[in-house]
Homo-oligomer: A and B are copies of this chain.
Amino acid sequence: MTSRNKTRGPLGLFARYLPILDWGRQYDRNALSNDLIAAVIVTIMLIPQSLAYALLAGLPPEAGIYASIVPIMLYAVFGTSRALAVGPVAVVSLMTAAAIGNVAEAGTMGYAIAALTLAFLSGTILLVMGVFRLGFLANFLSHPVIAGFITASGILIAASQLKHILGVSAGGHSLLELMVSLIAHLGDTNWITLIIGVSATAFLFWVRKGLKPLLRKAGLGPRMADVATKAGPVAAVVVTTVLTWGLNLGTHGVAIVGEVPQSLPPLTMPSLSPTLVGQLFVPALLISIIGFVESISVAQTLAAKKRQRIDPDQELIGLGAANIGAAFTGGYPVTGGFARSVVNFDAGAETPAAGAFTAVGLAIAAIALTPLVYYLPKATLAATIIVAVLSLVDFSILKKTWSYSRADFFAVAGTILLTLGFGVETGVSAGVILSIALHLYKTSKPHVAEVGLVPGTQHFRNVLRHRVETDDRVLNLRVDESLYFVNARFLEDLIQSRVAQDCPIKHVVLMCSAVNEIDFSALESLEAINRRLGELGISLHLSEVKGPVMDRLRKSHFLDELTGAVHQSQYDAWAALTGRRPLPAAAE
In the bound complex, do residue A136 and residue B444 qualify as a contact, i.e. CB atoms below 8 Å apart? yes
Do A520 and B481 form a contact, CB below 8 Å, given A140-B486, A436-B440, A569-B457?
no
- Report yes or no: B455 in contact with A458, Cβ–Cβ below 8 A: no
Contact B583 A552 (CB under 8 A): no
User: Which of A136, A455, A497 has the most B CB atoms < 10 Å from its CB?
Assistant: A136
**Other-chain residue from B496, B519, B547 in contact with A462 (beta carbon distance below 8 A):** B547
Q: Is the CB–CB distance between A456 and B516 below 8 Å?
A: no
Total interface residues in chain A, CB < 8 Å = 76
User: Does A514 lie within 8 Å of B459, measured CB to CB?
Assistant: no
A142 within 8 A of B: yes
A119-127, A316-324, A398-406: which one contacts chain B?
A398-406
Assembly CA distance A169 to B465 (angstroms): 69
A105 to chain B, nearest CB (A): 29
> In the assembled complex, which residues on chain B have CB atoms less than 8 Å from the CB atom of A490?
136, 139
A563: interface (CB < 8 Å): no
Known: A520-B142, A523-B404. A454 touches B586 (CB 8 A): yes
In whole angstroms, how far apart are the Cα atoms of A299 and B465 in the complex?
38
Tell which of A27-35, A154-162, A219-227, A445-453 binds the partner. A445-453
Report the bound CA distance from A465 to B524 in whole Å.
27
Tell me whether A241 is interfacial, beta carbon within 8 Å.
no
Q: Does A585 contact B (CB under 8 A)?
A: yes
A163 to B304, CA, bound (A): 68
Contact (Cβ within 8 A) B532 A140: no
- Say yes or no: A547 contacts B449, CB within 8 Å: yes
Given A524-B143, A569-B459, A484-B546 contact (CB < 8 Å) = no
Q: Does A442 sit within 8 A of B, measured CB to CB?
A: yes
Nearest B residue (CB) for A585: B457
**A61 interface residue, CB < 8 Å from B?**
no
Beta-carbon contact of B404 and A520 below 8 Å: yes
- Stoichiometry, as copies per complex, reads 2
Residue of B nearest to A513 (CB): B513
Q: Give the residues from 268 to 285 in chain A that come closer than 8 angstroms, CB to CB, to chain B.
A: none
Verify if A11 is at the interface (C-beta below 8 Å from B): no
Is there an interface contact between B139 and A459, defined as CB atoms closer than 8 Å?
Answer: no
A514:B517 contact, CB within 8 angstroms: no
A520's contact among B144, B457, B548, by CB below 8 Å, is which?
Answer: B144
Chain A residues 430-481 with CB under 8 Å of chain B are 435-436, 439-440, 442-447, 449, 454-459, 462, 465, 480-481
A146 CB → nearest B CB, Å:
9
Compute how far the CA of A263 lies from the CA of B447 in the bound complex, rounded to whole angstroms. Answer: 55
Q: Which of A536-588 contact B (CB under 8 A)?
A: 546-548, 552, 555-556, 568-569, 571, 583-587
Cβ < 8 Å to B, chain A residues 399-420: 400-401, 403-405, 407-408
Q: Evaluate contact between B457 and A459: CB separation under 8 angstroms.
A: no
Contact A401 B520 (CB under 8 A): yes
Of chain B, the residue at the smallest CB distance from A456 is B584
Q: Determine whether A507 belongs to the interface, using a CB cutoff of 8 Å to chain B.
A: no
Q: Which residues of B contact A571 (CB under 8 A)?
A: 457-459
- In angstroms, Cα B350 to Cα A416, docked, is 54
Chain A 348-380 interface residues, beta-carbon cutoff 8 Å to B = none
Considering only CB atoms, which chain B residue lies closest to A467 in the complex?
A: B587
A486→B139 contact, CB < 8 A: yes
With A139-B487, A408-B521 known, 13 other A-B pairs at CB within 8 A are A1-B497, A2-B497, A139-B444, A139-B489, A140-B485, A404-B520, A404-B523, A435-B485, A439-B485, A443-B516, A480-B516, A480-B546, A513-B513
12 sample A-B contacts, Cβ–Cβ < 8 Å, listed by A number: A404-B523, A405-B520, A436-B436, A439-B486, A447-B548, A456-B587, A457-B584, A457-B586, A481-B516, A514-B515, A514-B516, A583-B584
**7 shortest A-B CB distances, which residue pairs?**
A142-B485, A143-B521, A408-B520, A457-B586, A480-B516, A513-B513, A458-B458
